[in-house]
Amino acid sequence: MSSAPYNAYPGTGRTQTLRPGSGLSNAKKPLHRIALVRRRQGVSLRTVARHWNVEVAKVREQQDEQHDITLSELYQWQELLNVPVSELLVDSDTPLSAPVLKRAQLVKLMKTAVTIKESSRERSTQRLVRMLIEQLVEYMPELAEVGPWHGNGSRRSTTEFGQAANRQISEDLLAGDSD
């Protein structure tokens, strides 16, 4: 049986040897990178514990990459370490689940069909697109609310106004500084 190095601690340079049957291949993926970022920022466990008025054991538990912390705890860490939240999170390299991927593909297909329907004037194309839209809505009813791609479809004429034209502007704003 052969063994191979396994990067069990991404970003730290530490590796662990992966042996067949060792169970490490089935190890859970890390949920966050708080410990790594805390060390990189030079903040000690004791400093965090003092800042939050909690035991060091509680801080150690929260920063464990397998510990499922709450959103509010994540934001506390983000504020303390003065980094973007995205810096604390681990990117997922897993693809979208099959149902989510299928829905995304169907939404894109419906957007394209609605765009063609709104831009085409030929009767045969209109009929085909209408049938396609009906079939897509039959397959997934929530697609009935999908609109065309942005930048395509019906545009305002030069005589039409957008919603901004209906908003009132305060006189103070128009008057500006009169000092």
* CATH architecture of structural domain 27-94: Orthogonal Bundle (1.10)
Q: Where are the domains of the chain?
A: 27-94, 98-154
Q: What is the pLDDT of residue 129?
A: 94
Tell me the pLDDT tens digit for each residue of 107-131.
889 989 999 999 999 999 999 999 9
Q: What is the dihedral of CA 145, 103, 149, 120, to 10 degrees?
A: -80
d(CA 164, CA 114): 26
Tell me the pLDDT tens digit for each residue of 52-101.
999 999 999 999 988 999 999 999 998 888 888 888 888 766 665 677 77
Q: Which two tokens stand for residue 61?
A: 């538990």
